[in-house]
Amino acid sequence: MRFLHTADWHLGRILHGVSLLDDQRYTLDGFCDVVRDVRPDAVVISGDVYDRAAPPADAVAALDEFLTRLVMERRVRVIAIAGNHDSPERLAFGSRVLSSGGLDVVGPLAAEPASILLADTKPQVRFWAVPYAEPPSIATLLDDDSIRGHEAAMCRLLDRIRERKTDGERSVLVAHAFVAGGSVSESERPLSVGGTGAVAAEAFHGFDYVALGHLHRPQSLDGGAIRYSGSLLKYSFNEWEQPKSVSLVEIPESGPARVEEIKLPIKHDLRKISGTLDQLLSTVPAVGRDDYIWADLLDATPVYNAVERLRSIYPNIMYAARLQTAIPAGNGDGPRPDPSRHTLSQLFHMFYKEINGEELSEAHTAVLTGLIEEFERTREGR
């Protein structure tokens, strides 16, 4: 029995003012091709289907189109849960009707654990679905005030599933959570203010595979049985060196689940470049000009209109700025500059050295001296 595990599509996401929906459609086209070639028994989407609780209309249309293609054309069973970015109720619209057609969307968490049995596969596999919910809602749902925090809430939900599991039946858990030890990216919205919201990996024992959403880097935990498929695309520049994939999971009749990563086609890569503005403007790369670019400028002096000037080479550039030079070691520890003991010129020299790590040049000192004299004259003239 094989299924494709994906998560964190974040349909409708906007990055640096640019809608990524065309990129998402392009990659989902590729996903439909993978489903055609691989012919999995199911597709699992582990939450954060949309980027926002109230997604834009074109994102809703895109989801409708791709779910229809998967279920109606590819004839594959789709199981999706709500993540922390989704509105559970909106995502689950019509879900009881759609379930008979092969689309299982588990939106709001219910007291009775939701499960979907794939009975015609070898082996049979039961998918337990735990959509994202806030710990206080889980406490209310289970009528248990003692539940505080994500770990306690998840443990209670999983205990309730274990009570209902049949011995010997192969099982997959589908959840949206932060497992302790997972590697985070900038594009995830923390689950908990002032804390990590992490759940220990041990809490997830007892399933043949745990198909997680939330962390955007594809990664396996706890020896491989617990896995984040990672997001559909790179959703922040700190993920630029992080290749994305979907996970093809095989549940054999016996023994552990096997996972294969499958890369999907991307329309624009997202990457960082660096150099002085002149260097970047004088080299036209052979490939990747259409990528979404973040330029770290190594210029020592201010540059103007860098993004607009670089756009002639990189039409989809999203950001360019001078890299903050590292503050030399030891600075900031010395005696504080004292305006009552130092002249304006001395203070500026100290400031310049602190910021740039080197002394002001003689030529710049001459300009500075001229400016200070002019300033003093103006002040005296008042």
| Binding interface with Mn ion (CB under 5 A) | 8, 48
Structure token pair of residue 36:
């055609």
Write down the least CB distance from residue 230 to Mn ion, Å: 10
Three-class SS of residue 18? strand
Q: Which residues of 206-359 form beta strands (DSSP E)?
A: 209-213, 219-221, 226-228, 246-250, 258-262, 270-275, 292-297, 317-322
Q: CA–CA separation, 230 vs 215, rounded Å?
A: 6
Closest CB to Mn ion among residues 59, 118 = 59
- CA count, 13 A, side-chain hemisphere, 288: 11
Three-class SS of residue 258? strand
Do strands 125-130 and 114-118 pair parallel, antiparallel, or not at all (unpaired)? antiparallel
Closest CB to Mn ion among residues 16, 148 = 16
Closest CB to Mn ion among residues 51, 208 = 51
Write down the least CB distance from residue 42 to Mn ion, Å: 21
Write down the least CB distance from residue 171 to Mn ion, Å: 24
Write down the least CB distance from residue 343 to Mn ion, Å: 54
Write down the least CB distance from residue 27 to Mn ion, Å: 15
Closest CB to Mn ion among residues 48, 291 = 48
Helix axes 344-356, 362-381, angle to 10 degrees: 140
The residues, any chain, with a CB within 8 Å of residue 60's CB and separated by 6 or more, are 50
- Chain residue whose CB lies nearest Mn ion: 48
Closest CB to Mn ion among residues 170, 227 = 227
Closest CB to Mn ion among residues 8, 291 = 8
Write down the least CB distance from residue 47 to Mn ion, Å: 7
